[in-house]
Amino acid sequence: MTDTLTPATSRATFAIGDEQTARRVTDLLTECLEDGEAAVAAFERPDGRWDVTVHFAEAPDQGRIKSLVAQAASDDVAQTIVFDTIAAKDWVKASLEGLVPVAAGRFIVHGQHDRAHVPPNKLGIEIEAALAFGTGHHGTTRGCLLLLDQVLRSKMPRRVLDLGAGTGVLAIAAAKALRRKVLASDIDPRSATVARENAVLNEVGNLVISICATGFSAPQFRLRAPFDLVMANILANPLRQLAPPMAAHLAPEAMVILSGLLPHQTRSVIGTYRTQGLVLIRQIRIDGWCSLLMQNRR
């Protein structure tokens, strides 16, 4: 993999006494921090407490991070946050080695260390994430993979788009299952590079077309539309803003997978897409995050 990382990355670490509070903190941080700005992880310790670690692409506003943690947990927890700086490659390798493979339908997302453990009847997706995040362990990614698996049980979409691709997990999954070209886009050039490299790693480099683009502005969208399947694992606000241009690029009866939503955000997102002619087919909730499967009925 080409080295696209900065020499060092910033980190914040702290401990929380119970799972519910840990999830509340990680959800708030994930929602409030910009896409690609940070990676948030929480792991249970043997004593029942939870360790929370946040890796930042750039030095964070420490006061803002403390304020968010205080809002979701308490001032006492916020005051225990330790900020430090470590080599980027060290934490990427260490975090991936600590992750177990994640199964979602026919797909298994894993790191290099578990490459040999993928069952022959499953499609393995090997992800070695850099500063673009999405290893399959987040509830939004797993929800998208489960909905993708459901779609592929009854349909064979020809034109597929992964919007906000991050590490390219969803694009790689679709390319492996369909053996067809998939367009993957992200607003972050680092993410587009990582998705391209992960596609090569997974032997679908000739099928995944990874581009850096904002919204649907790039010419590749017009060239490959109308799409039979769109996967967009982003956040509620950009999903609402993208509804009209996305609908304009959909084929009749196209399937759309939307994720990155907290439970209270789903109603407004569903309503926005309903005005564009899409109807809700299924909703999945994993680890406090919701993923939606919708269909174009125009």
Question: For each of the chain's 298 residues, which pLDDT tens digit applies?
Answer: 334 444 567 899 999 988 889 889 988 998 888 766 788 888 877 777 899 999 887 889 999 999 999 999 999 999 999 999 876 544 445 555 555 677 899 999 887 777 888 888 999 999 864 433 454 556 788 999 999 999 999 999 999 999 999 889 999 999 999 999 999 999 989 889 989 999 999 999 999 999 999 999 899 999 999 999 999 998 899 999 999 999 999 999 999 999 989 899 999 999 999 999 999 999 999 888 899 999 999 8
pLDDT tens digits along 145-186:
999 999 999 999 999 999 999 889 999 999 999 999 999 999
Residues 6+ apart with CB under 8 A from 177: 106, 107, 123, 148, 152
Domain 138-296: assigned CATH number: 3.40.50.150
Residues 6+ apart with CB under 8 A from 23: 42, 287, 288
* CA-based end-to-end distance of the chain: 43
Encoded tokens for 123: 């499609």
Residue for token pair 């001032």: 75
Residues 6+ apart with CB under 8 A from 129: 39, 92, 96, 135, 167, 194
Q: What pairing do the DSSP bridges indicate for beta strands 123-126 and 182-186?
A: unpaired
d(CA 117, CA 185): 30
Given this model, what pLDDT does residue 1 score?
Answer: 38
3-class DSSP state for residue 91?
helix
d(CA 9, CA 84): 9
Q: What share of the chain is helix, strand, coil (3-state, %, to 5)?
A: 40, 30, 30
Quick one: which of 282, 111, 288 has its CA closest to 202?
A: 111
- Are 258 and 269 in contact by the 8 Å Cβ rule? The answer is yes
Q: What pairing do the DSSP bridges indicate for beta strands 107-110 and 102-104?
A: antiparallel
Domain 8-92: assigned CATH number: 3.30.70.120
CA 138: distance to chain centroid? 7
d(CA 170, CA 107): 10
Given this model, what pLDDT does residue 19 score?
Answer: 85
Given this model, what pLDDT does residue 131 score?
Answer: 39
Q: What pairing do the DSSP bridges indicate for beta strands 278-286 and 289-296?
A: antiparallel
Q: Do domains 8-92 and 138-296 have the same CATH topology?
A: no
Given this model, what pLDDT does residue 128 score?
Answer: 64
Given this model, what pLDDT does residue 110 score?
Answer: 86
d(CA 7, CA 89): 8
- Are 236 and 243 in contact by the 8 Å Cβ rule? The answer is no
CA 292: distance to chain centroid? 14
- Are 232 and 166 in contact by the 8 Å Cβ rule? The answer is no
d(CA 161, CA 100): 28
d(CA 70, CA 138): 23
Given this model, what pLDDT does residue 63 score?
Answer: 95
**Domains of the chain by residue range:** 8-92, 138-296
Residue for token pair 């998705």: 195
